Structure 1
């Protein structure tokens, strides 16, 4: 798999609390040059980024980030606002506490509501695998499938660990037809990126691969 093929699956990401518009603008420039799948950025920059990139790059943003314990109403407002500002893709964080107390109905309802708001635009569901048991990960594969969301995503990159090969393989074995997989958090080499893709991921959330490509240019 070539570097270009791997980069085409990357959501080039900067979700730093200290990110400035100049940082985001540079991220967008690099994403367009490397032809990544999208840029993944804080909601506050979505409108400017979409105006800046136009149709040359998909803009992704995060909802309920990074902890996921916002109310569904707050997440719905964030989602509507992001879409109105031009977001092409939404990465939402589940309410992990609801999953832990086995309130599957609440988790499913929330994801389904956000997918309804997204319509034809992509919704990715971040489940924060490092905080979950094996049983909970499998449950989330089922709930994401039932919700109609487009992707299940491993991690925010803001918790105790990121994507693992084992979790992506687990997702691939348990998601239903049509649900894609995004591996995110800690992906630091093209070799790892290729392995995640081989195991079943179709998106990679990372900033490092573009930086590596630029360094080798």
Structure 2
């Protein structure tokens, strides 16, 4: 059964997490998140407090990132960043795992890296960003299992910075790995309603999407329902 536009907005974390994001874009994303009732909004760390101020008194959650985008920060740096995000009002934290440590076979380090962030911001949910574009299927499965053991609330396909987009096949691999133990978030390359719904059918329950693509998907949903879509100014 197709998702309604009201269901879709509660699946989307609308984001502005590129290098070239301006103050104006942060303002636009806040306005759009409030207007369309997206579930959560994310910006780069230096803009997160500003975004939170813009979202104040709205039902839209503020999200924060840690170790973004490389995942190669020290554990202490990630913990400090995550605590800062909590202090400015973030209700969810998306942290990037240490991809190099995972590929080096140091699962203990990867587990500790994630677990320290989970413990630092408890009870705020942590989404563990795996950067699947750089991983083999076996590494994706290992990363999912490590993240679940470390106590995350979501495993997330990527930051959206990799050249390779998230795919339905990747979501299926992640879902097979985690089952019902945790939830799945996709990010990077989700630019159409068809892709979003295919990933949803595969088990994905949250999507990190840039503003332009999020509005495009929402417009598709409105049009499918025969309803006018009011563009944001």
TM-score, normalised relative to structure 1? 0.95
Shift of 1:30: 0.5
On the 8 A contact 2:8/2:218 being kept in 1, the answer is no
Work out whether 1:209 is the aligned partner of 2:211: no
| Paired residues for 1:164-179 under 5 Å | 164-179=167-182
| Superposition map of 1:4-43 within 5 A | 4-43=6-45
Aligned to 2:74: 71
* Alignment partners' CA distance in 2, 1:153 and 1:213: 21
User: After superposition, what is the alpha-carbon deviation per residue over 1:12-67, rounded to whole angstroms, capped at 9, x for unaligned?
Assistant: 01112221222111101111111111011111112122122124211112211111
2:85 to 82, 87, 103: 82
What is the deviation of 1:176?
Answer: 4.9
SS of match in other structure, 1:157 = coil
CA RMSD of aligned residues (A): 1.5
**What CA deviation, in whole Å up to 9, does each residue of 1:155-199 have, x standing for no partner?**
111112121101111111111544100011011111111111111
Structure (1 or 2) with the larger CA radius of gyration:
2
5+ residue gaps, structure 2, are 221-228
- How many residues end up aligned between the 2 structures? 217
In 2: Cα distance, 1:209 partner to 1:46 partner: 19
Query: 2: CA distance between counterparts of 1:214 and 1:49?
Result: 24
- How does the TM-score come out when normalised to structure 2? 0.88
